[in-house]
């Protein structure tokens, strides 16, 4: 652990920020001086779409009147309806947390107990062994660029670790505004390979003492105004 730095639990978004620029990560999650961006129109739209789909799934599970959704969220409803016909269990906005040994731990456990957290938009169990994980995406469609620390890899590693009976996972990015999907399949024999890069990056983050700025293609949109690049 870096000198004078308390442990910090990671998530895909936190790790992605660190890989993009350690200085930005420090500003957002350690110093907590990064400006609040929750009023960003794109962020607000994405939050609304996620909430509409969560409410729809909850209503389907409870067999109550289905809520109305906006036009963009509506693009995902056929997929959700089909999954309810095919699956034995569906959960929306599932919070998962693993400890240093990838065992289940409480979401609100102290940072020195939590290694990674994730909120999965939808988990659908076809049976006890086969699972579909869906991440609802708003905004521009992007081809999937798989890396060792991609979001789909992390959620697959967490599901395999927390549900030992699961042997196959299909992970899907559902771009609800464009009616397009990206799918990646995982099998249990991949678990150690999936976990390894996240174990490595967890240690890298915890032991970083400098959090140096890194010039990248997103610098023009970064709000860390004390950065030498921005200055």
How sure is the predictor about 228, in pLDDT bands with cuts at 50, 70 and 90?
Answer: confident
Question: In the chain, pLDDT over 70 holds for what percent of residues?
Answer: 97
Cα–Cα distance for residue pair 110/191, rounded to 1 Å = 25
**C-alpha pair distances (Å), 14 with each of 19, 150, 216:** 9, 12, 17
Looking at per-residue confidence, does 43 or 103 come out higher? 103
Cβ atoms of 18 and 212 within 8 Å: the answer is: no
CATH of the domain at 187: 3.90.320
What pLDDT digit, counting tens, does each position of 63-81 carry?
A: 999 998 887 888 899 999 9
Please report whether residue 229 resides in a domain: no
Rg (CA), the chain: 19
Cα–Cα distance for residue pair 41/49, rounded to 1 Å = 12
Please report whether residue 231 resides in a domain: no
How sure is the predictor about 231, in pLDDT bands with cuts at 50, 70 and 90?
Answer: low
Looking at per-residue confidence, does 94 or 71 come out higher? 94
**Domain with 117 in it:** 10-221
Looking at per-residue confidence, does 197 or 179 come out higher? 197
What pLDDT digit, counting tens, does each position of 7-65 carry?
A: 999 999 999 999 999 999 999 999 999 988 877 888 888 899 999 999 999 999 999 99
Please report whether residue 208 resides in a domain: yes
Please report whether residue 1 resides in a domain: no
Please report whether residue 2 resides in a domain: no
Number of independent structural domains in the chain: 1
Please report whether residue 100 resides in a domain: yes
State whether residue 221 is helix, strand or coil: helix
Please report whether residue 227 resides in a domain: no
Please report whether residue 177 resides in a domain: yes
């Amino acid at each position: 652990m870096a000198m004078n730095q308390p442990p910090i639990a990671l998530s895909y978004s936190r790790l992605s920020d660190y890989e993009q620029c350690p200085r930005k990560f420090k500003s957002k999650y350690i110093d907590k001086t990064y400006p609040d961006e929750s009023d960003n129109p794109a962020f607000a739209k994405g939050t609304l779409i996620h909430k509409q789909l969560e409410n729809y799934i909850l209503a389907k599970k409870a067999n109550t009147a289905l809520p109305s959704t906006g036009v963009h969220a509506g693009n995902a409803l056929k997929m959700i309806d089909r999954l309810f016909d095919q699956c034995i269990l569906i959960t929306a906005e599932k919070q998962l947390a693993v400890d240093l040994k990838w065992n289940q731990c409480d979401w609100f456990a102290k940072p020195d107990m939590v290694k990674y957290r994730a909120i999965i938009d939808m988990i659908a169990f076809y049976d006890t062994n086969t699972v579909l994980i869906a991440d609802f995406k708003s905004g521009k469609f992007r081809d999937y660029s798989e890396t060792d620390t991609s979001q789909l890899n992390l959620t697959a590693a967490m599901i395999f670790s927390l549900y030992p009976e699961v042997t196959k996972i299909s992970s899907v990015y559902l771009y609800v505004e464009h009616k397009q999907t990206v799918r990646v399949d995982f099998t249990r024999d991949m678990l150690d390979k999936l976990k390894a890069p996240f174990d490595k990056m967890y240690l890298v983050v915890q032991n970083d003492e400098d959090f140096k700025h890194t010039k990248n293609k997103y610098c023009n949109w970064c709000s860390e105004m004390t950065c030498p690049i921005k200055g």
